[in-house]
Structure 1
């Protein structure tokens, strides 16, 4: 338990230190594909107008406008994150003021969501699963709060199957991303984030975690040569 708390505090400190560079970092790590990946992930939620969506580990709010547009002004979107600075940045990042009235931000833990059962039409998580010590508990919590028949969707960096793509991308992660971190005096932090991508379980194993959490019709979609993968399961 103490080890998990120490890991949590360490991750919290990392994200507090890079909050103002976080969006740029996602753009660089994704080779400028992150916006496309998010749109694809949102399409797999099958949200309708008037729906209710939850975004877990919402960070600076990258998923929130797209989810809000899907449910329209008749619906609601809740973003939850355990980092106060990330949530503050998420507020600043909501440019479409006509959407803000249907978006609510909550501070809380992904492994212990402060919501009742069967509340949401979908639960999403993007670029957050690999930074949570207990991934299985997080997926189970997302399944718990989603209505029967609703979707649990994860967007995360993954393992490219093509050896050439994998080698080229990992070289990029090992050299260019830490170099950027060095320029902004965050070399150790950016190296840690690069390492977290390369050590993340293969997409097949994440699919198995979805099934073990009780999700049905589990599928995954590899994007941009497998640099990212979207997992989808039905509650």
Structure 2
């Protein structure tokens, strides 16, 4: 398993997601057994968002979490989705165009490590299934905290490490053996979906991510484990 960090990781991840953008949503739903929709709804529900508020979706990918945020914020709400991958943003624009929320969501190309927004801009900042992919987890969370208003929430929805015996072994067997194979069938080439199990191995346990939230100055940091602990939703308050 190759290790990636810093600029090297950014370039590698950009290449992965540029390759899989056209099949990303279908494969997410398939590989999660259609649980990804529930995970996004649950994550957004932790934000305490009110109609007319604002939210930033960091590493927004194909915009599915951005759409969920827009549903919560209502007609006068504002969502900004940010991603550094052109192909993923193009797919996000296409996805949002099919919804009633296209006038409430703006997409911006940018880097999660240097968010192009002023301090205290948004009521909430989310990152969905992408914290594993940033070159500096603590730096990314700190940037999200910076752009959130006092009292606002920073939320991460991410793959986690289940602990239940038997289920844990079955999950890792599926994730390490079948996911790359199914991903290869979906995108037509080796490689891109091998990043999923590899990146999870390198990613800290959910309790460590909670501690990172606290270190950046977020208060009352906690997490929920969903679907047997295969994903975790972390929440912290500025």
Deviations 1:69-104 (A, max 9, x none): 111111100000000110000011115543111110
Q: Is the 8 A contact 2:123 2:152 kept in 1?
A: yes
Change (3 A) 1:66 1:3: closer
Q: What residue ranges of structure 2 are gaps of 5+ in the alignment?
A: none
- Report whether the alignment pairs 1:152 with 2:144: no
Conserved 8 A contact 1:28-1:177: no
Q: Which residue of 2 aligns with 1:189?
A: 192
1:234 aligns with 2:237: yes
* 2:56 aligned to which of 54, 57, 62: 54
Gaps of 5+ in 1: none
* Contact kept in structure 2, 1:41 and 1:153, CA below 8 Å: yes
Give the equivalent residue in structure 2 for 1:39: 41
Secondary structure of the corresponding residue to residue 163 of structure 1: coil
Cα 1:199–1:5, aligned 2, differ >3 Å: closer, same or farther?
A: closer
Aligned equivalents of 1:97, 1:62: Cα separation in 2: 11
Partner of 2:143: 141
Residues 119, 147 of structure 2: 8 Å contact kept: yes
- Which residue of structure 2 lines up, in the alignment, with residue 221 of structure 1? 224
- The number of aligned residues is 234
Counterparts of 1:63-212 in structure 2 under 5 Å?
63-183=65-185, 184-212=187-215
Following TM superposition, by how much is the alpha carbon of 1:192 offset from its aligned partner in structure 2, in angstroms?
A: 1.7
SS at match of 2:158: strand
Q: Is the 8 A contact 1:180 1:187 kept in 2?
A: no
Greater mean deviation of Cα atoms: 34-43 or 170-179:
170-179
* Distance in structure 1 (CA, Å) of the matches to 2:27 and 2:175: 11
- 3-state DSSP of counterpart to 1:176: helix
Question: What secondary structure does 1:113 align onto?
Answer: coil
The residue that corresponds to 1:9 in the other structure is 11
CA distance in structure 1 between the partners assigned to 2:30 and 2:213 by the alignment? 28
1:10 to partner: Cα distance:
1.1
Question: Deviations 1:163-200 (Å, cap 9, x if unpaired)?
Answer: 21111111001221121233343322111222212332
Cα pair distance change 1:97/1:38, threshold 3 Å: closer
Secondary structure of the 2:143 match is: helix
Range 142-151 or range 5-14, more displaced? 5-14
Deviating 4+ runs (over 4 angstroms) = none
Partner SS, residue 225 of structure 1: helix
More divergent stretch after superposition (67-76 vs 136-145): 67-76
